[in-house]
A and B are shown apart, each in its own frame.
Chain A
Amino acid sequence: MIMTRLASILFFAILAVGFLGQADVAVAKEKAADNYSLYCVQCHGSKGTGRGINAPALSVQPRNHTSAKDMSSLTDESVFKSIKEGGVAVGKSTQMPPWGGILTDEEVTDLVKHLRGMCKCEGKK
């Protein structure tokens, strides 16, 4: 009887942990999507194709985040660095600003994952 009780407590505990973990992931993903909307869409566009409202004023076309060909040519580390330190840090345009003073490292890491979801591609190894 006691064993059955313990087993059911353990079962529900495992379920609860599972749900919590899932909730964490879901929140993290949504946060990255929200951060993308607020900070990236102004140049990269709501579709992520590089055609945001600021794009016509830029001398360099913002990167198309949905392009598997373009995005798979970049390592996750270089994408992280360009978001955090700006385009100059990876030899690209100054028009990509450094978001490290606004976003945490964790938020930038989540954004890299979000971009990989947008391009449906993996980073260059």
Chain B
Amino acid sequence: MEIFVQQFINALALGGTYALLALGLAMVFSVLGLINFAHGELMTITGYAMFFAIAAGIPFPIAVILGIAAATLAAILMERIAFRPVRDANTATMLLTSFAVSTILHMLFQNLISARPKAIPVPDWMIGAINLGGLSIGVIQVMSITATTLLLLALTVFLRRSILGIAMRAASLDFPVTRLMGINANAVIATAFGISGLLAGVAGVLWLAQRGSVDPLMGFLPVLKAFIAVVLGGLGSLPGAVLGGFVLAFIEVSLRAFLPDDWLPFRESITLTLVIILLLVRPEGLLGRKDAVR
């Protein structure tokens, strides 16, 4: 029972990180029809911003804020510099642009900083665990679950209450008609990128707290997972992206915890096989619309 609860919390914490990343991908996709493959680099930018901030003697909590701000700003700049000029081109052009942005950033990280991992010293209190009725829960896990919950709540309020939030939901269905409402297309798209950057920044901090270092390719794996989560949840559905992130994390954590030792090397393949089976049963994803065609 105890190990079960422990693993459940692990899965929630990991699922939160995937959910934040997947939600960022899904927000940009829903307004632009673009899967932004440079999304992972936003996490990496958070990492380097924190690395340099800490190296400059800035306290850890402020470095965290700077790291998140850096990812948000980078996402907005990415849209302005790379994606806006090709917005009216076809989807393949935008997709290739996102690969280019990703590759250029890799090169910059490698050549201007280092190809080797840079350590990010995490404060001691974050490495510890909290004792909760006999259960020891990692501080990082608690922070991860709390941050995810708060962000998802704030985002829900934003999407339900504010005009810009309602406009973003409208734009995910019908962009031209959203503009007919007098909604500025650039504002909607820039906001989507800004939020995706913010979420990637927070996910980056949570990811870094576990790893303790940043390297040029840091963002690749988690964003690949987030992409799987988005497809699993239903491309274009924001709640779907969140659900997909949690489902993926639960599958991964269960396999890691309960699979026999000699099966462990295959756990990624087993995870992906399960995802494929889910998609065979529901090709539109868990919460996707049947008629969703882009």
Q: Do A and B come from one complex?
A: no
